[in-house]
Amino acid sequence: MRDVVIVGAGLAGSSLAHVLSGLGWDVLLIERRQLPHHKVCGEFLSPESQASLWALGLYDTVAALRPSVMEHARLVSRRGVSLRVPLPGPAWGVSRFALDYALATAARQAGAEVQQGVTVSGVTAVEQGYTVNLRSLEGTSMVQARAVVVACGRNPLPGLRPKTVTTGARPTYVGVKCHYADVTMPSQVDLFLFKGGYVGLSPIEDGRYNLCLLTTRAAFARAGGSAGAMLDAVTRWNPALQQQLAGGQPVPDTEVSVAPVDTGVPAVPWDTVARLGDAAVMIPPLCGDGMAMALRSAEICAPLINDFLHERITLATWQEQYSAAWQREFARPVRTGRQLQALLARAYLSDGLLALGKFLPVLARHLVRATRGQSRPLETVLPLVQQPASQDRNAMIGIPAVQKGDA
Ligand SMILES: Cc1cc2nc3c(=O)[nH]c(=O)nc-3n(C[C@H](O)[C@H](O)[C@H](O)COP(=O)(O)OP(=O)(O)OC[C@H]3O[C@@H](n4cnc5c(N)ncnc54)[C@H](O)[C@@H]3O)c2cc1C
């Protein structure tokens, strides 16, 4: 019987595995893919993330990846109306290829067993804990655990879907991302709107830039129905983006796409077990806060799991306290983020909103704040575990061959 099984080695799963292993628990972290790999993501790690990384003992691990630093965000409408706002603090730009691998490595170094290429197909509550069903190239198997946490991201397999959520008739989106070299732009995150979606462009580590877009299926089909055609089309559809990318060269093997992306699924932070990060809810990507929320949900959950494993609280108390904290922290940013996404999707409203934000910077700053969690100075945050000794970046990142695939 394992102490904890964590499903998914993304930000939420790996950071939780790192803390719980550091606290001495026997942790099994299960990831269906092989790391590292490119993931569809804007790779904008918002200012709030840093406090969570600090608390999770992972600040130095991420700083060692030498992320880019951004202090402003700029929004540009289809008609070229632009608004530049200061971020609530310095944000980091770092590829998911490097970041996810670094966090999973840190979890392993803290003592977690990390199984890659293994898929969790279902979790069942049993008398003394849980049975977790696994599937891999070797066949099927099961593992027993006292506690299970689902951190499998936004598209759970049927066996991990919350019972209360139906897919519904909402429109879904397609996500595409690609890294670029030789781009010249200020160190900021740019968000360009186009008919049917938006594109983010921002610096990451090693002097590279990440372009990531979210688009309706209709716009994807209009562009030609492939990731490459979509990347070509968005530069035509937003002249300001074309100008910004002029001279930029796509980095081979970094183009990935994912569908469907459903940004309207109702939130479920608990269903039989705790759900972290996107497995609980997805905030619209334009807020650039999904990774911060994934890390923060791990930060909130870790002490509760620790207390549960020590038998200081019951499962019901863990559920109650985690769900309440989740609602307190994330319900409002998700609601506001969804409203903002709907507003910016309409050309005349987006122009109006950006123009208004220019004349009322307080309103613009308020909107930025309303879509995100709390900013906490690092000195006020107590680490749950110690930061691992600083890691040799070259030993950790970039040795395995780049793999193509989606998120
Ligand atoms: C187009 C787009 C742009 C975005 N841009 C940004 C941005 O700029 N900034 C930001 O903060 N957020 C952004 N996000 C959101 C961000 O990517 C997510 O919020 C974040 O990745 C959530 O982390 P997670 O750990 O919850 O899930 P994930 O990162 O999705 O990790 C889940 C892991 O679980 C694994 N898994 C899934 N199912 C199973 C299974 N059954 N068994 C075993 N393993 C499994 C997956 O392979 C994956 O590695 C963006 C999202 C999209 C779609």
Q: Is residue 405 part of a domain?
A: no
Q: Which atom of ligand 1 is found nearest the CA of 119?
A: 42
Range of the domain at 193: 2-396
CATH number at residue 245: 3.50.50.60
| Residue 149 belongs to a domain | yes
pLDDT tens-place string over residues 364-374: 666 666 666 67
The answer as to whether 407 is a domain residue is no
Distance of CA 382 to the CA centre of its chain: 23
Ligand 1 neighbours by CB, cut-off 6 Å: 7-13, 30-33, 40-44, 46, 119-120, 151-153, 157, 160, 175, 200, 212, 214, 261, 277-279, 285, 288-292, 294
In a domain? residue 401: no
Structural domain contains residue 406: no
Supply 262's token pair. Answer: 């459903």
Please write the tens of the pLDDT for every residue from 271-315: 999 999 999 999 988 888 899 999 999 999 999 999 999 999 999
Ligand 1 centroid, distance to 10 Cα (angstroms): 6
How much distance in Å is there from the Cα of 66 to the middle of ligand 1? 21
- pLDDT exceeds 70 at position 264: yes
Return the best residue to mutate from 291, 297, 406 for the ligand 1 pocket (most ligand atoms within 8 A of CB).
291
How many domains would you assign to the chain? 1
User: In DSSP terms, which residues pair with 113 in a beta bridge?
Assistant: 28
- Nearest atom, ligand 1, residue 289 CA: 11
Any domain includes 268: yes
pLDDT at 163: 83
Q: Is residue 402 a part of any domain in this protein?
A: no
Q: What share of the chain is helix, strand, coil (3-state, %, to 5)?
A: 40, 25, 35
Q: What is the pTM of this model?
A: 0.92
Long-range contacts of 323-330 (CB under 8 A, 24+ apart): 323/269, 323/270, 325/300, 326/267, 326/269, 326/280, 326/297, 326/300, 327/269, 329/296, 329/300, 329/373, 329/374, 330/267, 330/280, 330/281, 330/283, 330/293, 330/297, 330/373
